[in-house]
Structure 1
Amino acid sequence: MDITALDFQQARIKQVLFKSRLRSVLYGVREADPTLFSPSENPLSQWLHTIVKPKYGSYPEVREMERAIQNMLDAGQKLVKQYQRGQIEEARTGLDQVDVYAAQVERLLQTLERTTTNAAA
């Protein structure tokens, strides 16, 4: 089964959802859920492992995306720990680093989308 444009769009939504949940924690709207930072529980990581890796696991973009997602999760978890220690402004400022990883994931998604579309054609 080929990965469709809809699959990629859903992956992008999963990433936005992660960032939104993280932001909600850092702005006191919700409590930190430990599963938010677990690769096995993260919807974007799950998508990568169940949809992408079985067919395109040998692509370098897939391995890079896996690392970028893990970096994004680790950075988010670090920010929540800062927030919980009372370093609220520092934690909120650190969202910029999460955005850097998110941008990296987006670039890799675009590359992979182009590559898989060309491979399927």
Structure 2
Amino acid sequence: MDITTLDFQQARIKQVLFKSRLRSVLYGVREADPALFRLSENPLGQWLQTIVKPKYGAYPEVREIERAIQNMLDAGQKLVRQYQRGQIEESRAGLDQVDVYAAQIERLLGKLERGMV
């Protein structure tokens, strides 16, 4: 099965969903789900593992995307810990770092997509 433009659009949606869920935790709308920060249970990480890696795992962008996702998840988890310790403003300010990782993932997804689709 080849990866299509639709697959990449869905991956981008999964990333936005992660950021939205993280933001809702940091603004007190929902409780933090530890699974949100595990690569194997994160929707974008699952997409990478099940759709991309089996066929395209040798592409260097795939490894870079995986690292960037893990960095984004680690940063998000750190922000939740800050929030839980009462460092509300600091945790919310840290969303900028998550956006940096998200932009890196977006750039890598685009590069990978141009090479495949």
TM-score scaled by length of structure 1: 0.96
Structure 1 residue 73, shift from structure 2 partner: 0.1
Give the alignment's Cα RMSD to 1 decimal: 0.4
Report 1:73-88 matches (<5 A).
Answer: 73-88=73-88
Q: Are positions 1:45 and 2:49 aligned together?
A: no
Partner residue, 2:115: 115
> Given residue 98 of structure 1, which amino acid in structure 2 is its aligned partner?
V
Which AA in structure 2 matches 1:56? Y
Deviations 1:2-45 (A, max 9, x none): 10000000000000000000000000000101111011110000
- Matched residues, percent identical? 85
* Number of residue pairs the alignment of both structures matches: 117
Shift in Å, 1:57: 0.3
Give the C-alpha shift of residue 111 in structure 1. 0.3
Task: Write the letter of the residue equivalent to 2:36.
Answer: L
Determine the C-alpha separation between the residues in 2 that align with 1:60 and 1:106: 15
Letter in 2 for 1:8: F
Q: Which runs of 5+ in 1 are unaligned?
A: none
Is 2:92 aligned against 1:92?
Answer: yes
Consecutive aligned runs of 4 or more in structure 1 exceeding 4 Å deviation: none
2:67 matched residue in structure 1: 67
What residue ranges of structure 2 are gaps of 5+ in the alignment? none
Residue 53 of structure 1 and its aligned partner are, at CA, apart by: 0.5
Q: 1:29: which partner in 2? A: 29
Q: Which amino acid aligns with 1:90?
A: E
